[in-house]
Amino acid sequence: MNILGLSYMYHDSAACLLQDGAVVAAAAEERFIRIKHSIDFPLRALKYCLAEGGLSVGDLDGIVFYEKPFLKFERILKTHLMAFPRSYASFRAFLPMWLNYKLSVPQTIREETGYPGPVYFTDHHYAHAASAFLPSPFERAIILTMDGTGEWSTTSHGVGEGTDIRLDQHQTFPHSLGLLYSAVTAHLGFKVNGGEGKVMGLASYGKPSFRRKFDQAVRIREDGSFQLNLDYFSFHYDLVMTNRKFAEHFCPPRAPESDILPEHQDLAASLQSVVEDAILAMVRSLVARHGIDRLCIAGGVGLNCVANGLILEDTPVRELFVQPAAGDDGASLGAALYLDTLLGGGRDAVEAGGRASRSPSGGALAGRDRWRMRDAYLGPSFSDAEIEAFLRRSKWSYRELTEDDLPARAAELLSRGRIVGWFQGRMEFGPRALGNRSILADPRDPKMKDILNRRVKHREPFRPFAPAVCVEDAPEYFATSHESPFMLLSVPVREDKRGLIPSVVHVDGSARLQTVSARSNPLFHRLIKEFGRRTGVPVVLNTSFNVRGEPIVCTPQDAVSSFLRTEMDDLLLHRFHLAKEDNR
């Protein structure tokens, strides 16, 4: 059975292809069209997925959309009418897009692709829940989804067992941890749906001095449920997310690109503290209620690696799986997996009109193993022949290596302090570069963080960088017993090791860790091992292969373009080594 999941129209448009219950391809549209967080119909991503599966649109048994637009439109209408006339400007901006485009999903799909078959719809938070639980290693687990908003839900939780997903508690718009984080992100002068990670990084530089003031803006109950005081916010009726009362209560809004002041750092720290308190209380309550110590998380708030690390440190949760594409891109994967469990039981398992029912049991996965997400390498790859043809055609100077020599060459370059673009295998799905579309550097150099932020990434100086370490070596350097294959846990760096890897230690002594196994990425694993053999430090600095404002590179052409426009020293494009001094 061939199922295509799609997400688009809000942010992080993506496509995902399932064949007989297994994900064979998934990618975000931004990587192909080079527009970060693209909302466009994911035509390029869709075409890639079909090509990877050797299919045409006529071979698909179903296309599934990641949410229910009419329910979302109902919410927008109701909330704007309740706030009218204050909501006039926002309503006028939203309405044409909804009437002309967002309510015509089946028609758009058929016009863009020529697909003749049925189009299905899942609930937004069920798509997130499916992306979190169904690919996880657990047979039974608590499920927690948190984002800005779906149709109505902003936080949902329940239990997954086998192929059954039951979400029985929901918080609804406008009370949302995701929108709270986005509102403060905008107030601090960063872009919504992209700048939240910057705020998380900035938080470590501040003190939670506004924490008591947040108690007046956000009420957190003992079970982790929460309620926003809407007197401080305007996102539910306006194009601006915070209002004058918020600015008077906390601090004035920061203009984009202006200096970051201590009060901005403190506001970020206070926000992070509030969100952590809500999440930790929620998780403790869920564990006590269900008696389960395994947890699956998705939704954009799931990208908060600091909160994720605290879940394992400060709650009874013993094992945690966070969907690496936790945002709306990953909802395309979840929608496809969710529909697969339904269609396996026949079309009668789906409600009339193509709406996915709420609790699949058995379905397509009965009698066969569930697909497990052991890595996130689901995007395009390129052959050596394709890459060499491009290099020759473009007349770039390069040296060809053997695959056996490649890790040693990379480790040798890194040990000399050179900054290396690393382009190998299939592109990652999700916002993190995990060793296939990465920029690598030596974490021992205390100046490397500033060099990378200023000369290569062209981004804010407070932004931290992540360490990549072989899974078997991680406990020696990091105070955790948990694997972190998707770079979604922030953990303490052992005090006696912080001086050895200063460029990947955040100001609070933590690091956003990636653990690398020989099974998931043997080439990257060998590189890290070789770097450790040469230097005595088996850790490399790993950051995404892109510059500020651009998506992670997808193609060899993207990689060379980024390499030439920055102060990277070397590019290892599969087996082909481009040195900057030879290509000026």
Q: Which two tokens stand for residue 20?
A: 């007989």
Rounded CA separation 399/390 (Å): 14
Q: Which two tokens stand for residue 421?
A: 């673009």
Rounded CA separation 399/223 (Å): 60
Rounded CA separation 257/189 (Å): 7
Would you call 421 helix, strand, or coil by DSSP? strand
Q: Which two tokens stand for residue 175?
A: 């009370």
Residue burial 161-183, b: 16+ Cβ < 10 Å; e: rest: ebbbbebeeebebbbbbbbbbbb
Task: Report the number of secondary-structure helices (H) and strands (E) in the chain.
Answer: 19, 23
Residue 335 and residue 7 in contact, taking contact as beta carbons nearer than 8 Å: yes
Would you call 162 helix, strand, or coil by DSSP? coil
- 522 phi and psi, to 5 degrees? -60, -35
Q: Which two tokens stand for residue 399?
A: 């040296």
Burial class (CB in 10 A: 0-12, 13-18, 19+), 402: exposed
**Exactly one of 11, 175, 236, 506 is catalytic; which is it?**
11
- Residue 574 annotated to the active site: no
Rounded CA separation 175/190 (Å): 21
Rounded CA separation 224/401 (Å): 54
> What is the residue type of 142?
I
CA-nearest of 496, 491, 519 to 506 is 491
Burial class (CB in 10 A: 0-12, 13-18, 19+), 452: buried
Q: What is the DSSP letter of 255?
A: P
Q: DSSP letter string over 207-230?
A: --TTHHHHHHHEEE-TTS-EEE-G
Rounded CA separation 358/385 (Å): 47
**Alpha helix segments (H runs only) across 439-555:** 448-451, 474-477, 522-535
Which residues contact residue 336 at a Cβ distance below 8 angstroms, ignoring those fewer than 6 apart? 3, 4, 5, 16, 17, 18, 23, 64
> What is the residue type of 273?
S
Would you call 397 helix, strand, or coil by DSSP? coil
Q: How many residues does the chain have?
A: 584
Rounded CA separation 229/224 (Å): 16
Rounded CA separation 156/160 (Å): 13
- E strand intervals along 49-198: 62-65, 119-121, 140-146, 153-161, 164-172
> What are the residue numbers of the active site?
11
